[in-house]
């Protein structure tokens, strides 16, 4: 959760890591902060990070840098936010980074549970990783009429 070091010309800093293990270590830690310490959630990001938070099908402004991200997180107003994780998928990516996709449900301030998908790109730094990119979308609930309007591709 500190600023990244200059890229290592000799390759990734964290060689021999298993992306799924990093994903399953990162995800519970991140959502514990969402629940217990949302005022410190910005510590997962740094000055080069990008953050988008919104609802499926709606335009959302990207936030850039730790300070803007902190303001956005504060405006969301996480309070006693609970998260149920359905799945976590992780893959190795460029420059030793790891892409993580989370599918789950969230209830903030005892409001109804809402399905969401969140994608993180974790970039390497000497003592671990930081969140370089974060895209969060609440998913719209499907209506009965909408399901019959789908077409199947052959």
Judged against a pLDDT cut of 60, whether residue 13 lies above it is answered with no
Residue 29 token pair: 């830690």
The domain that contains 82 carries what CATH number? 3.10.450.50
Sign of CA dihedral 85, 14, 121, 36: positive
Residue 136 sits at φ, ψ, to 5 deg, of: -120, 130
| 8 is a domain residue | no
| 151 is a domain residue | no
| 50 is a domain residue | yes
What local confidence, expressed as pLDDT, does residue 148 receive? 47
| 7 is a domain residue | no
Residue 150 token pair: 């789908």
| 5 is a domain residue | no
* C-alpha dist (Å) from residue 52 to 34, 37, 89, 121: 15, 20, 19, 12
| 90 is a domain residue | yes
Q: Which domain holds residue 85?
A: 19-140
Q: Which of 41-45, 71-75, 132-136, 147-151 has the lowest mean pLDDT?
A: 147-151
pTM over cut 0.75? yes
| 120 is a domain residue | yes
Q: For 26-77, what is each residue's pLDDT tens digit?
A: 999 999 999 999 999 999 999 999 999 999 999 999 999 999 999 999 999 9
Domain count along the chain: 1
Q: Label the pairing between strands 114-125 and 98-107.
A: antiparallel
């Amino acid at each position: 959760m500190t600023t990244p070091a200059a890229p290592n010309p000799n390759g990734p800093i964290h060689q021999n890591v298993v992306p799924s293990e990093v994903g399953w270590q990162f995800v519970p830690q991140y959502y514990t902060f969402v629940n217990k310490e949302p005022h410190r959630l910005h510590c997962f990001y740094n000055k080069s990070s990008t953050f988008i938070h919104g609802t499926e099908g709606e335009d959302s402004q990207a936030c850039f840098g730790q300070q803007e991200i902190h303001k956005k997180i504060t405006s969301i107003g996480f309070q006693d936010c609970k998260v149920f994780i359905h799945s976590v998928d992780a893959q190795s990516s460029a420059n030793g980074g790891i892409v993580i996709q989370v599918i789950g449900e969230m209830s903030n301030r005892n409001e109804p549970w809402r399905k969401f998908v969140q994608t993180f790109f974790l970039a390497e730094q000497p003592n671990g990783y930081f969140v370089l990119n974060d895209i969060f979308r609440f998913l719209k609930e499907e209506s009965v009429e909408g399901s019959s309007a789908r077409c199947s591709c052959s």
